[in-house]
Structure 1
Amino acid sequence: MAKKYIDVMDTTFRDGFQSVFGGRVLMDDFFPAVEAAKEAGIKHFEFGGGARFQSLYYYLQENAFEIMDLFRDIVGPEANLQILARGINTVMLDTASREMIDLFAQMFKKHS
């Protein structure tokens, strides 16, 4: 019987932080855990978007795009990275124009 590949996505670094801490976790505090997850063989991460994206700016004074770049550096180019978008609102709190949705897609593709 052939082995079956099962892809498991780790949502700790977005949903876990957002659910437990309101997304307010400094990058220097969780990057060692990202490294450990990579070393454990995890290759699929949800790591940004939603309130996690906003809390970096509002509460932590950290740049979400810089964190995306550093996250990618840690997990490597082969990792599958995913972010949460609120449909037509993307990461905003109000409905976005087509131009803003396109900009969102371009920026998140560039940084993750």
Structure 2
Amino acid sequence: MIFTKTTKKIRVQFMPFRDGLQSSFGGKVRLNDFLPAMKRAAELGIRHFEFGGGARYQAPYFYLGEDPFEDMRAIREAVGPDVDLQILTRSVSGVTLTTQSPEGLQLQAKLMKEYGTTWDRNFDYMNDVENLIR
């Protein structure tokens, strides 16, 4: 074990409300079923959640009759303004399933910010760095 003379603050990212729901249920979980747990986690001190993107963007539209933007707004209201909320985007596809134009990706980024996102975790399934910087 390594000890230091100065205390270091460790920040963690809490992902079960996006990745866990996607991995276990394909993201097909209604907001009202997990929002109380997310709110409580924030009250207990969690300060960074992944809350959207991936299946948590498509599943509400396709299967649940919910609007993921309104879900993001409700999550922001539940956890408060000081909590970081992160989405997962798919390279040049953003949160969609097809390649988007740069203008489409800029619009997506603007909307995500408007609805409470503070971080965007972007990945490219082929690790194509050029796709990540477009």
**Normalising by structure 2, what TM-score?**
0.81
CA distance in 2, matches of 1:35, 1:86: 27
The 4+ residue runs of structure 1 with deviation greater than 2 A are none
- RMSD, aligned α-carbons: 0.7
Instruction: Tell me which of 79, 94, 98 is aligned to 1:94.
Output: 98
Paired amino acid for 1:27: L
Letter in 1 for 2:27: G
Task: Name the % identity.
Answer: 49
3-state secondary structure, aligned to 2:64: coil
* DSSP 3-state at the match of 1:82: strand
Name the residue aligned to 2:130. Answer: none
Q: Which residue of 2 aligns with 1:50?
A: 54
The residue type equivalent to 1:71 in the other structure is I
Kindly indicate which of the two structures has a greater share of residues assigned to helix. Answer: 1
- AA aligned opposite 1:75: V
Matched, 1:69 2:59: no
Answer yes or no: is 1:38 the counterpart of 2:71: no
Provide Cα deviations, 1:30-52, integer angstroms capped at 9, x if missing partner: 11101111122101000100111
Which residue does 2:87 correspond to in 1?
A: 83
By how many angstroms is 1:2 displaced? 2.1
Structure 2: tracts of 5 or more residues without a match = 117-134
Which residue number corresponds to residue 112 of structure 2?
Answer: 108
Count the aligned residue pairs.
112
Deviation at 1:21, TM superposition (A): 0.4
**CA distance in structure 1 between the aligned counterparts of 2:55 and 2:31, rounded to whole angstroms:** 15
Structure 1 gap segments, 5+ residues each: none
